[in-house]
Chains A and B, each alone.
Chain A
Amino acid sequence: MTFAIQLQLKRAEGALVRVLGLVGRRGYEVIRVEARPSGDERVMDVVMTVQSDRPADVLVRHMAKLFDVVEIQEMREMSK
């Protein structure tokens, strides 16, 4: 299954690496990732496409726990 996750991330030391590392460690594969500055210089907007047999909601809950994740805004299934 492939799905998209959109999140806001603090621009803190290692924040993006921490998110990407979590995705891989939990058994998901990053297919595409885009990170760009947001209007607020303290945060960045990240959109990623992720693939796995494992459920999307579990990964989202893991991500939501990260200290640097300000908000997980969206998750949509793209294909089976």
Chain B
Amino acid sequence: MNNAKLLVQALEQEGVDVIFGYPGGAIMPFYDALVGSRLRHILVRHEQAAVLGADGYARATGRVGVCVATSGPGATNLVTGIANAFLDSVPLVAITGQVASPLMGTDAFQEVDTFGITMPVVKHSFLVKRAAVLPWMVREAFRLARSGRPGPVLIDLPKDVQNAAACGGYEPAPIEQPPAPEPQAVARAAELLRASRRPVVYAGGGIGMGCAVDEFRAFVAATRIPVVSTLKGLGALPGDHELYLGMLGMHGFRAANRAIQECDVLVCVGARFDDRATGKLSEFAPRARVIHMDVDAAEVGKLRRPDVAVVGGLRPALRTLSIPLEIDSWRRTCRAFTAEHAWNYDAPGAGVYAPRFLKRLSEAADGETIITCDVGQHQMWVAQHCRFRRPEHHLSSGGLGTMGYGVPAAIGAQLGRPQARVISVTGDGSIMMNLQELATLVRYDLPIKIVLLDNRALGMVRQWQELFFEHRYSEVDLSDNPDFVRVAEAFGIPAFRLEDRREETQAIERLTRDRGPVLAHVLIDPQANVWPLVPPGHSNEVMMEGAHR
């Protein structure tokens, strides 16, 4: 047995069922070993979709996503997706072919330094120079990808090593639990909570990634502290929960940002004080003492010095901190914020008002529906107006902001959760970044619903040029878009166009009832903006508002 075969068997033993990839010269021994394997290989049409598909699979299932590419351009096409997984802490193993060892360093055909190029965006990487170390490296790759703060791990595998005789067998990596936090730190956090009068929970993606949703909800039920969420934290608490104030930050809701600015204790659970969430950092939660709970010690004090750092697994800490608090008056204040800033969905005109359409779609979808996003205005409207019951129901490229994420992630999510309804909300800019994957969707008969919000522009950039560059529009016009209905149909996907709000009900009916794939091409107002908006460099207290369109 050669190493390529051993690698395939190792993946099988790790419980991998689906891998996403694209073959090529330096990875051919691996593809040869795939023949007859029980691994299901998804042949994408561009390597970026392989890694983003594996990312979507991992986020939707909680398992490690696996992608494969050849050396050179195959590997460089993975880089964006590896960075995407790195910034959003997604467990991923990326396997790349490499030219044969004697050719490495000679500028051989399709040779690049994949190990070096990816180093800043991986949790760790392995270059397999000797056959004997392959089993250990694969085991460590899986262990590292999913342990502690998850992330992507790269295995770069020269062709001659793939062909060499395997040494030894494979033992799957153990599942590790993160260490429990220090009891003294948890006790100090409890003291701070008991003394607080205006606490707020700042809930991040770590809750879902750390499998701590149940403990988090029990913590909120016991303490009854109002909760704001980051983009990745959406769904940690159900979107209709009485204590949920909405997303915070640049496009957060006023109630959420106000509560943060007025709180006396900020309980950061699995979040990282990202600039899009905090606005001007020095003015973020200015009166608050901070409890920072995170599995990653390096996040503590990176941007905001906490008063108490609770480093380690979230689950035991949340269990211990599930204590009743006397904060009735503050809760009433927060409820008043929510009522005062309730969204008005009555936009004038006959066209489709994107926030209302997405809210209606979300309400009509069942509680297990997964929504993936691309990046831009539609992404923020989804975060603001769709309600999620679980974090794994909302797949969005948060840290890297990767346009082109939505459709490949939907493919990964649908393959990982075949029974779930998967909707990909995209824009006319984003969909063109990985349009070729409509062919993958059709090839594997995936019933994904695509909602393409089309404003004939790169909307978010256009909005910033309008507001912060004195209406000087530079390279944002997409009025020459193709006919997206015909494009979808050319791929074999049924499609329809929606322009008139009176047809929304029928469109939503199709998107939530049709068994197969469908693309809804939704024309929206090209001048529509995302509100509210905290201007860059400002405190979250400064929230711009504009007209509903």
Contacts and interface: CB of A to CB of B under 8 A. Distances in A.
Interface residues of A, number: 15
B291 interface: no
Contacts of B58: none
Main secondary structure of the interface of A (DSSP, over half): helix
A36 interface: no
Nearest to A54: B302
B302 to A, nearest CB: 5
A65 B127 contact: no
Contact of B119 (A17, A55, A57): A17
Contact of A65 (B125, B129, B296): B296
B298 A14 contact: no
A13 B298 contact: no
Interface string A37-73: 0000000000000000001011001101111000000
Interface in B121-150: 123-127, 129, 140, 144
Given A13-B129, A67-B144, A18 B119 contact: yes
B170 interface: no
B297 A61 contact: yes
Contacts of A65: 296-298
Interface in A10-43: 13-14, 17-18, 21, 25
Contacts of B169: none
Contacts of B482: none
A44 to B, nearest CB: 18
A13 B296 CA distance: 25
Contact of A21 (B120, B144, B298, B302): B120
Contacts of A14: 115-116, 119, 125, 127
B303 to A, nearest CB: 9
Interface string B276-296: 000000000000000000001
A13 B126 contact: yes
B301 interface: yes
Contacts of B140: 67
A45 B124 CA distance: 20
A16 to B, nearest CB: 12
Given A61-B298, A61-B300, A67 B124 contact: yes
Interface residues of B, number: 18
Contacts of A66: 124
A13 B116 contact: no
Interface string B443-471: 00000000000000000000000000000
Interface in B293-321: 296-298, 300-302
Interface in B217-258: none
Nearest to B126: A13
Contacts of B115: 13-14
Cβ-closest 9 pairs across A and B? A61-B298, A67-B124, A62-B298, A61-B297, A13-B127, A58-B302, A58-B301, A65-B298, A25-B120
B140 to A, nearest CB: 8
Contacts of A18: 119
A15 B270 CA distance: 29
A70 to B, nearest CB: 14
26 contacts: A13-B115, A13-B126, A13-B129, A14-B116, A14-B119, A14-B125, A14-B127, A17-B116, A17-B119, A18-B119, A25-B120, A55-B301, A57-B301, A58-B298, A61-B297, A61-B298, A61-B300, A62-B298, A64-B297, A64-B298, A65-B296, A65-B297, A65-B298, A66-B124, A67-B140, A67-B144
Contacts of A64: 297-298
